[in-house]
A = this chain, B = another copy of it.
Amino acid sequence: MILRREGQGWHARQEETYKDEPGGWAHVRRTVLFDSDRSRFQARYFAIAPGGCTDLEQHGHEHFVLVLDGVGEVTLGGKTSRLGPGDAVHVGPDVPHQFSNPGTEVFGILCVVDRERDRPRIVEPGGAAARLTRAP
């Protein structure tokens, strides 16, 4: 099956709310690109609008992230770095992380995760936990 890219989205794929719960996140939409009960991973696309960000969070499962559109920032273990198209990020277990868009165009990232995974935990910005770079 082929999913055609159309503008910022994909043909026949709906954008969804990033999360059902409120939190520190803003202006993020999620598109599920791959979710099969015959495979052990899921691939999602997150469109972070200008001024938006994902939650600062941590969890035991890992993320593989690849920037598809625009530029933005990632905060990993308390350190913030700029990201551009094609840059990839490996978020290790329990590393606090947040993706944000201080720019003026959409910052779009692909994020691959295990299909079975633990729930994220929100991290307090500025706290000691926010600076962890690996599992304690």
Nearest neighbor of A133 in chain B, beta-carbon distance: B1
Residues of chain A from 32 to 52 with CB closer than 8 A to chain B in the complex? 33-34, 36, 38-41, 43
Mark the stretch among A15-23, A59-67, A98-106, A119-127 that contacts chain B: A59-67
Contact B2 A38 (CB under 8 A): no
- State how many residues of chain A have any CB contact under 8 Å with chain B: 36
A40 surroundings in chain B (CB, below 8 A) = 40-41, 114-115
Interface of A is mostly: strand
A46-92 interface with B by 8 A CB criterion:
61-62, 64, 66, 68, 74, 76, 81, 83-90, 92
Residues in chain A within 8 A of chain B (CB atoms): 1-5, 10, 33-34, 36, 38-41, 43, 61-62, 64, 66, 68, 74, 76, 81, 83-90, 92-93, 110, 112, 114-115
With contacts A88-B33, A112-B43 known, is A83 near B38, CB below 8 A? no
Beyond known contacts A40-B115, A64-B112: 15 more, CB 8 A cutoff = A2-B87, A2-B89, A3-B89, A3-B90, A5-B87, A33-B88, A34-B88, A36-B62, A40-B40, A40-B114, A41-B112, A41-B114, A43-B64, A66-B68, A112-B112
